[in-house]
Structure 1
Amino acid sequence: MTHDHDLVLRPTPAQTEAALNPPPGRNGGDLVVETLAGLGATTVFGLPGQHALGMFDALRRSDLRYIGLRVENNAGFAADAYGRITGEAAPLLLSTGPGALTSLAALQEAAAASAPVLAISSQIPTAGLGGGRHGYLHELPDQAASFRGVVKSVHTVRTQSQIPSAIEAAWTSALSAPHGPVWVEIPQDVLLAETAIPVVTGGDAFPEELPPRPELTAVAADLLSRAARPAIIAGGGVVRADASGKLKQLAERLRAPVVTTPGGKGAFPWKHPLSLQSWIEDRHTTDFLEDADVLLVVGSGLGELSSNYHTFKPRGRIIQIEADLGKLESNHPALGIHADARLALQALLETVPKRQDATAADRVQGVLAKVAERIAGQELTLEQELLASIRRALPGDSPSFWDMTILAYWAWSAFDAKGPNHMHSAQGAGGLGYAFPAALGAAAADPTRPVLAVSGDGGALYSIAELATARQYDLNVTWLIVDDGGYGILREYMTDAFGEATATELTRPDYVALAESFGVPGVRTTPENLEQDLAKALQAPGPSVVLLPAVLRMFAPTHLD
């Protein structure tokens, strides 16, 4: 009897000849880029450095497209967005020590948002590893230790023959649910040495599926079928699993209202009769969810931003579907189902009967009306009009990337993403400087659609150097910078907490003139002209900057009794 795993594909004579006589002039770096290409990669991001030159020289002999950014952290943000948009593992090539460490904040965001980033770093020569010779430039006592608490998996290479297998293992890890960043490190001498190893001609990396346990979905289906007031919280796991269609089917079958978290933006149609939209920071919404007798949480760990800052106290039974085992029941007791959102929702669709509820849509409209009334009472017309102007100017299928800025906090709750995988922000880890380099990565992934980045002036200064990258690669990104003179959200937090703000005011450049010095068109706009100026910038090919001087305020997240 022959089993599938006993079958061995025999090489053709031509393959044997090529393997026995590899082309001259290849080094360990060629094994890296050949393996990436064999796995299906087409684009890599990064920044060269002394120890990594073997990899970068090999790019010259490959068909991989290289997008080079000016700061490693920004290169990580670009790779993160590329991974989110394409669903592919995004290669990130880095140098040793300072170059590697500078990417850590971006990898933390990728880990928090489950973005598949394949970081490949150089290392000092093997003679200096494991307590050997010391004093190398960029040397760290244990470079991999700096990443173990951030990435999904760490893969170390010490010989050239290990390179293809290590990269394949990392690729599989990055794309197995939950997606996430992974780390591979290769010593300088291994990358530089000439190799006689055959050309890597293919990859065999199959991400592991994560199906639900059938006994758990049977219990979940029974609970949902008997629920009187079911409700659903949809998180980023729905978007990453491409499960928004199945979510919509299940919500309609159950007549269950749906609210999306900041990470789950676009997972459920904004104007659907069962849509509570994204007002998860509102106490009216929180009250409604607390009243559900069965609450289905899909692809969310119910963390700080998804639980109205841990004020959420559900009274009913929770069913939590989550691919990240560490997030399962980490904040609330639940029927925990460790599974990919798409597979778990499919299992429920196959077993949950239709439920009749003529009041569900009316109850949803009642909550949304209360939210609108509360916001209207806070005199925040400017902020709402700005979001409406952006929504009208941005094409419906264009992705947007938002920095940690007041307008982004508004967008988490009040912006219609128009579809899954369209709106992204740094709300996973909360680092500044995400929006613009991430938008560059998205534009590299899909040049057919204009991409919007939204930053405050504080966050913009983190990534201003990437205007050079935008121009060099002619990427279709429009960068909206809201200039309020400092770290606006921190100014508001400190004023509320201490009566006045400290260390929040910034001297900043003339952003329009600065953009134009990079060869990037810039325009200074007003709230009244924002829609027109933004639409014009988005329609023009290549990068552009729109500067909006404005001081914005946050809405109060709770209603006043």
Structure 2
Amino acid sequence: MTHDHDLELRPTPVQTEAALNPPPGRTGGDLVVETLAGLGATTVFGLPGQHALGMFDALRRSDLRYVGLRVENNAGFAADAYGRVTGEAAPLLLSTGPGALTSLAALQEARAASAPVLAIASQVPTSGLGGGRHGYLHELPDQAASFRGVVKSVHTVRAQSQIPSAIAEAWKSALTAPHGPVWVEIPQDVLSAVTALPVVTAADATPEDLPPRPELTAVAADLLSRAQRPAILAGGGVVRADASGKLKQLAECLQAPVVTTFGGKGAFPWNHPLSLQSWLEDRHTTDFLEDADVLLVVGSGLGELSSNYHTFRPRGRVIQIEADLGKLEANHPALGIHADARLALQALLETVSPREDASAPERVRELLSRVGERLAAQELTLEQGLLSSIRAALPADAPSFWDMTILSYWAWSAFDPGRPNTMHSAQGAGGLGYAFPAALGAAVADPTRPVLAVSGDGGALYSVAELATARQHDMNVTWLIVDDGGYGILREYMTDAFGETTATELTRPDFVALAESFGVPAVRTTPETLEQALTKALASPGPAVVVLPALLRMFAPTHR
């Protein structure tokens, strides 16, 4: 008996002829790039290295676009942003040992932020695997072990026939909720040896859906429908699942005020009558969430930042929708629903009963007024004015990327992202140097929109080499560097904790002259002229640097 799917698997005469007569000169590296192209990749990031040359040589024979950065960690940040912006798996090609290990901090951020990055690294020749027998350059006793605790999954290849399946399996893992970085490693000899295997033409790696269990959404819908004071805390999972529209529908149906986490910026419209914005480091917001009789947490693990440094103590019922099983009820007891945010919100929309609550918008206005009064008492008009200038200069649909610097800490709470999936920062893992290389990745993903990167002078020195990348590819990225002569946020932390600072002050370059030495136009500005300088830079094609000498202060948070 012949089944329909048996016929689908049967090659056509043309496919058979092509398979039996592959083009000459192909190697294992060609199997890598053919598989990536077959899976839908169009762009790869990375840096070449001795053991990885077979992969990079194969790029020459492919239609994949290669974007090379100057430091592996920065290449990882660029791939991370590409994955966040497009929702696609971003290939990251790396060499062995030092080259691979230099990407670890970027992969940690991708894991924390659920960004789909497909890292493919070389290995020493097969004969040297297992630890130190041959003393190969870049050799590690167990390279994969260095990544196993950082990435979502590890996939090893030891023969050319394994390459397509290993990459396809990794691709599927990266794009199955929760998204995340994955690791594939292939020995040098496997990559460089000539192959007789046919051209890869039928790679398939459809991500698995993660639907909610219907009995759990039925209970959640009942709780929300009967709630007197429902509230919603929306995290990055809403943005990653492209579920912002469904969140808005549900909030309006329930008349439930919404707070977005720092990772969930843009998940809910900033100026909506039900928007409590992102003032998580404020006791008024914490009190409001604690007072909810039913709190729906969507796409957040309620970690340190999202729980106001673990001071949040809910008094009502908590419903937590989370795709990462390890984060489900990890910090607070809840009705835990292991599901993709989009599918779970859709299930709730189909089962909740609408609520009437004319007081909800007034309670939102009252809370935001209290937050504003607290800030006004601290005389922080400079910092608030800078964010207003940036918002005015940045087109509504233009993405922005923020490093770990005081202005970014402000932006987490106070910046209106404009639209979903347009504001990104390194707050997942908290490493320095994210903003500029990430902005380059976003510019590659969509060259039609300008991109803004915001760094302090300390973080800028982590990624200043990528000015060469920006110039080489004429990327539409404007880099705002707030120069305060040191690690500003650490300066504040140490002063508060110890009364004085150590290791926070920096000798830094003339950033304007440095940028111009790369052929990148640069300007020094002031708080009063920042909006004008950014507007001009963002409207001009290609890269630009805007330097703002300023000493900023962080608002005093309230945790207790």
* SS across alignment from 1:288: helix
Aligned partners of 1:192, 1:118: CA distance in 2, in Å?
A: 20
Distance (whole Å) between structure 1 residues aligned to residue 4 and residue 55 of structure 2 = 36
Whole-angstrom distance in 1 between the partners of 2:534 and 2:7: 58
1:46 is matched with which residue?
46
Q: Secondary structure at the match of 1:548?
A: strand
Q: For the Cα contact (< 8 Å) 2:85–2:442, is it kept in 1? A: yes
Instruction: Give the Cα separation in 2 of the matches to 1:371 and 1:129.
Output: 58
Structure 1: state its 5+ residue gaps: none
User: Which residue of the partner structure matches residue 442 of structure 1?
Assistant: 442
Distance 1:375 1:58, change over 3 A: same
Identical-pair percentage = 87
Q: Which residue matches 2:411?
A: 411
Confirm or deny that 1:32 pairs with 2:32.
Answer: yes
Task: Report Cα offsets for 1:330-365 as digits up to 9, x if no partner.
Answer: 000000000000000000000001101010000000
Q: How does 1:376-387 map to 2 (within 5 A)?
A: 376-387=376-387
Letter of the 2:527 counterpart: P
* Distance in 1 between residues matched to 2:228 and 2:197, nearest whole Å: 64
Partner of 1:16: 16
The amino acid that maps onto 1:138 is H
**Partner SS state of residue 482, structure 1:** strand
Take 1:421 and 1:244, find their aligned partners in 2: how far apart are those partners? 9
Q: For the residues of structure 2 that align with 1:5 and 1:143, how far apart are their CA atoms?
A: 40
The CA deviation at 1:15 is 1.1
For 1:462, what is the secondary structure of its paired residue? helix
2:55 aligns to what SS in structure 1? helix
Whether contact under 8 Å (1:374, 1:559) holds in the other structure is no
Aligned to 2:216: 216
C-alpha distance after superposition, 1:505-538 (max 9, x if no partner): 0000000000000000000000000000000000
Match of residue 57 from structure 1: 57
Write out aligned runs for 1:155-304 (5 A): 155-304=155-304
**Which residue matches 2:137?**
137
**1:347 matched to which residue of 2?**
347
What is the distance in 2 between the residues matched to 1:190 and 1:486? 47
CA RMSD of aligned residues (A): 1.1
Residue 9 of structure 1 and its aligned partner are, at CA, apart by 2.4
User: By how many angstroms is 1:7 displaced?
Assistant: 5.2
Q: What residue is the counterpart of 1:510 in the other structure?
A: 510
Asked if 2 retains the 8 angstrom alpha-carbon contact of 1:238 and 1:299, the reply is: yes
TM-score when normalising by structure 1: 0.99
State whether residues 301 and 328 of structure 2, in contact with CA within 8 Å, keep that contact through their aligned partners in structure 1.
yes
* Alpha carbons 1:247, 1:345 under 8 Å: kept: yes
1:429 partner SS: coil
- The answer to whether the 8 A contact 2:308-2:559 is kept is no
Listed as ranges, the gaps of 5+ residues in structure 2 are none
Give CA deviations for 1:20-56 in whole Å, capped at 9, x if unaligned. 0100011000000000000000000000000000000
Amino acid in structure 1 at the alignment position of 2:95: S
1:6: how far off? 5.0
| Change beyond 3 A, Cα 1:7–1:428 | farther
For 1:512 and 1:362, the matched residues in 2 are separated by 48
Q: Does structure 2 retain, via aligned residues, the 8 Å contact 1:290–1:316?
A: yes
Secondary structure at the residue paired with 1:92?
strand
State which drifts further: 130-139 or 465-474. 130-139
Instruction: Quote the Cα distance in structure 1 between the aligned partners of 2:559 and 2:214.
Output: 41
Residue 460 (structure 1) shift:
0.1
Render the CA deviation track for 1:79-123: whole Å, top value 9, x for unaligned.
000000000000000000000000000000000000000000000
Alpha-carbon distance in structure 1 between the residues aligned to 2:459 and 2:480: 11
Structure 1 segments of 4 or more deviating over 4 A? 1-7
SS in 2 for 1:465: helix
The secondary structure found in structure 2 opposite 1:463 is helix
Q: How many residues align?
A: 560
Does structure 1 conserve the Cα–Cα contact (< 8 Å) formed by 2:484 and 2:551? yes
For the residue of structure 2 that corresponds to 1:185, the secondary structure is strand
Inter-partner Cα distance in structure 1 for 2:198 and 2:47? 27
